[in-house]
């Protein structure tokens, strides 16, 4: 499988087998990137994957209730009509096991697994200037080399386990939702403590409460949530989505967030209060992320946003019977959707159960974990199981978890010490031939992920094809273009209400010591795609290309 470039034989003994391209990660991005480079460009390409199977984020996130909040018919690869026509989703939002079946099916259909090396957690990647090769080392000690290195490591794959004193003394079981045991966890008869109320915690709590003896939810930041309104997909819907796949693709490419619905053109402030209320009621009934699309200005105008925020807070007070619990749940300190807005199935209703309690850890901070539970400043909570739904060291975590070194052994950790600096979220100055799929500075997590992924993978593929055609061997963003892009990313974020959520992982605020920088590109996917296309059309403007 090693490439037949004359280079290979000389370097192989020292630096391992050589390929044209190495891809790190076998999730949505890595699978498609392998298909593009191997099957479209005819390169020798290999994927190095830490897990024992494909799936990326979905391989690890097997917690109770794990489900995607993009609608199934849009959470699919759209590059292949055959794949689109053949696969049948069963529910409005796909559950984790169904997504795993889908990704395995795609990998098998495209015969990808033969070029994926599983069980290879990449620990370092070093650029060798003299040979223009990346030397990539796995935890197993094996080395691989390639001219191009594509990171497809995901944005939410580095688990954030809070350093609470005493965790090692806990005599019960504890789990992080993003590292869930494959065999599952039996909560029957157990007293469970769940720390965290983000998208994950909001999905997990109702399911855990069904089987646990008791569930205590430890909430630090109260969160909005909109009912998902999940349900089985009808044959009519499935037929419709297949017959209209071209139009759906176009729609997803035309919206700022890559979802298959348009954002209303009305302002929340342009309609009388009764009409606005009726529009929100209808959006609440429809459910899902579509709620955000009810008005065009929810993410840019605080007064408009307040109308949505108040509507949801009123719903929480209506659903939750105990007024004290309702008040804690509705005590939300940030604009609606300024943190990633969860969608749920019976989250707020769960607090009406006799076996569920809510602890506000802003009012009574967690001080320590004891052998038999969690101690806050006010009380001790006896627990058999602790579930950390505490999220991820997002976006930069998975990249900085690898010791990546560019020209002159320049360390990515040093270059990003004050926050990520990329050009288009696709490349880093000083790191030739490195492409970062859905890297910081690209829309990534603000977009329906497969749409963002396909755009990046195709851009990278076209870029490599261009280089081969013109005889270029190296590509690297200039420091000036990266500086300008970082400024533009900040400008785009500041034009929205997103940075107003001070506890958001978009800003790195959930990881103690992490630089507070708004990481994804908030200018919208459609605009971003246009910028990337223009850069390519101008001969990869802002990048330096060399033979």
Binding stretches for ligand N01 (CB under 6 A)? 67-69, 156, 162, 195-201, 203, 218, 220-221, 340, 361, 366, 389-392, 445, 503, 505, 510
Minimum distance of ligand N01 from residue 469's CB (angstroms): 38
| Dihedral over alpha carbons 228, 229, 230, 233 (to 10 degrees) | -130
Which residue number, 144 or 351, has a Cβ lying nearer to ligand N01?
Answer: 351
Query: What is the distance between the alpha carbons of residues 386 and 170, in angstroms, rounded to a whole number?
Result: 9
Minimum distance of ligand N01 from residue 391's CB (angstroms): 2
Which residue number, 395 or 535, has a Cβ lying nearer to ligand N01?
Answer: 395
Relative orientation angle of helices 302-319 and 273-286, to the nearest 10 degrees: 60
Minimum distance of ligand N01 from residue 434's CB (angstroms): 25
Q: Are 90 and 119 in contact (CB under 8 A)?
A: no
Which residue number, 328 or 340, has a Cβ lying nearer to ligand N01?
Answer: 340
Q: Which residues touch 311 (CB under 8 Å, ≥6 apart)?
A: 277, 280, 284
Minimum distance of ligand N01 from residue 485's CB (angstroms): 23
The phi and psi torsions of 469 (rounded to 5 degrees) equal -65, -40
Minimum distance of ligand N01 from residue 61's CB (angstroms): 7
Cα atoms in the Cβ-side hemisphere of radius 13 Å centred on 326: 14
Which residue number, 38 or 176, has a Cβ lying nearer to ligand N01?
Answer: 176
Taking residue 277's Cβ as centre, other Cβ atoms within 10 Å add up to 14
Which residue number, 201 or 406, has a Cβ lying nearer to ligand N01?
Answer: 201
Query: What is the distance between the alpha carbons of residues 192 and 174, in angstroms, rounded to a whole number?
Result: 9
Which residue number, 25 or 406, has a Cβ lying nearer to ligand N01?
Answer: 25
Minimum distance of ligand N01 from residue 130's CB (angstroms): 41
Q: Are 452 and 437 in contact (CB under 8 A)?
A: no
Residue nearest to ligand N01 as judged by C-beta position: 198
Minimum distance of ligand N01 from residue 154's CB (angstroms): 10
Minimum distance of ligand N01 from residue 411's CB (angstroms): 27
Which residue number, 203 or 350, has a Cβ lying nearer to ligand N01?
Answer: 203
Which residue number, 34 or 453, has a Cβ lying nearer to ligand N01?
Answer: 453
Q: Are 117 and 45 in contact (CB under 8 A)?
A: no
Minimum distance of ligand N01 from residue 21's CB (angstroms): 28
- Closest Cα to residue 192, out of 64, 86, 318? 64
Minimum distance of ligand N01 from residue 344's CB (angstroms): 10
Sort 173 into a burial class: Cβ within 10 Å, 0-12 / 13-18 / 19+. middle
Which residue number, 218 or 291, has a Cβ lying nearer to ligand N01?
Answer: 218
Q: Which residues touch 214 (CB under 8 Å, ≥6 apart)?
A: 191, 192, 355, 356, 357
Q: Which residues touch 239 (CB under 8 Å, ≥6 apart)?
A: none
Query: What is the distance between the alpha carbons of residues 332 and 354, in angstroms, rounded to a whole number?
Result: 24
- Closest Cα to residue 27, out of 398, 388, 505, 392? 398
Which residue number, 419 or 542, has a Cβ lying nearer to ligand N01?
Answer: 419
Minimum distance of ligand N01 from residue 340's CB (angstroms): 3
> Buried b / exposed e across 89-100, counting CB within 10 Å, b at 16+?
bebbbbbbebbb
Degrees, nearest 5: CA angle 146-399-44: 20
Minimum distance of ligand N01 from residue 156's CB (angstroms): 5
Which residue number, 195 or 525, has a Cβ lying nearer to ligand N01?
Answer: 195
Query: What is the distance between the alpha carbons of residues 378 and 375, in angstroms, rounded to a whole number?
Result: 8
Sort 329 into a burial class: Cβ within 10 Å, 0-12 / 13-18 / 19+. buried
Which residue number, 62 or 133, has a Cβ lying nearer to ligand N01?
Answer: 62
Q: Are 371 and 171 in contact (CB under 8 A)?
A: yes
């Amino acid at each position: 499988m090693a490439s037949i470039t004359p280079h290979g034989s000389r370097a192989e003994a020292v630096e391992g087998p050589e390929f044209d391209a190495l891809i790190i990660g076998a999730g949505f991005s890595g699978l498609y990137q392998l298909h593009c480079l191997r099957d479209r460009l005819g390169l020798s390409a290999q994927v190095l994957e830490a897990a024992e199977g494909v799936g990326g984020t979905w391989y690890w996130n097997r917690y109770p209730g794990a489900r995607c909040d993009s609608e199934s018919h849009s959470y699919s690869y759209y590059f292949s009509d055959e794949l689109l026509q053949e696969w049948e989703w069963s529910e409005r939002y796909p559950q984790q096991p169904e997504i795993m079946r889908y990704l395995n099916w795609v990998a098998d259909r495209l015969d990808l697994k033969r070029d994926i090396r599983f069980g290879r957690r990449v620990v370092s990647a070093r650029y060798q200037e003299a040979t223009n090769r990346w030397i990539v080392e796995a935890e197993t000690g094996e080395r691989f080399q390639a001219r191009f290195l594509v990171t497809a490591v995901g944005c939410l794959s580095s688990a954030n386990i809070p350093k609470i004193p005493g965790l090692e003394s806990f005599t019960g079981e504890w789990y992080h939702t993003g590292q869930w045991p494959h065999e599952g966890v039996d909560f029957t008869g157990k007293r469970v403590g769940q720390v965290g109320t983000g998208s994950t915690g909001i999905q997990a709590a109702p399911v855990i409460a069904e089987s646990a003896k008791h569930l205590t939810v430890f909430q630090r930041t109260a969160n909005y949530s909109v009912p998902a309104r999940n349900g089985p997909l009808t044959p009519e819907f499935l037929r419709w989505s297949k017959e209209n796949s071209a139009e759906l693709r176009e729609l997803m490419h035309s919206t700022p967030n890559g979802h298959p619905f348009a954002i209303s053109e009305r302002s929340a402030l342009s309609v009388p209060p009764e009409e606005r209320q009726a529009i929100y009621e209808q959006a609440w009934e429809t459910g899902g992320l579509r709620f955000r699309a009810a008005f065009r200005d929810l993410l840019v105008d605080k007064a408009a946003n307040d109308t949505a925020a108040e509507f949801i807070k009123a719903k929480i007070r209506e659903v939750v019977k105990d007024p004290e619990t309702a008040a804690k749940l509705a005590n939300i300190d940030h604009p609606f959707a300024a943190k990633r807005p969860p969608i749920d199935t019976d989250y707020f209703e769960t607090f009406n159960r006799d076996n569920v309690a809510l602890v506000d850890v802003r009012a009574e901070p967690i001080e320590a974990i004891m052998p038999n539970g969690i101690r806050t400043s006010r009380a001790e909570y006896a627990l058999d199981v602790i579930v950390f739904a505490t999220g991820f060291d997002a976006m930069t975590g998975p990249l900085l978890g690898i010791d990546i070194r560019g020209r002159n052994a320049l360390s990515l950790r040093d270059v990003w010490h004050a926050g990520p600096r990329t050009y288009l979220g696709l490349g880093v100055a000083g790191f030739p031939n490195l492409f970062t799929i859905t890297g910081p500075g690209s829309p990534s997590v603000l977009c329906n992920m497969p749409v963002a992924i396909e755009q990046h993978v195709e851009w990278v593929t076209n870029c490599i094809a261009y280089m081969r055609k013109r005889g270029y061997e190296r590509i690297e963003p200039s420091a000036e273009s990266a500086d300008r892009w970082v400024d533009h990313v900040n400008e785009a974020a500041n034009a929205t209400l997103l940075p107003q959520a001070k506890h958001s992982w978009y800003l790195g605020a959930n990881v103690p010591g992490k630089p507070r920088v708004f990481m994804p590109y908030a200018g919208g996917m459609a605009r971003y795609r246009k910028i990337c296309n223009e850069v390519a059309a101008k001969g990869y403007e802002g990048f330096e290309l060399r033979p």
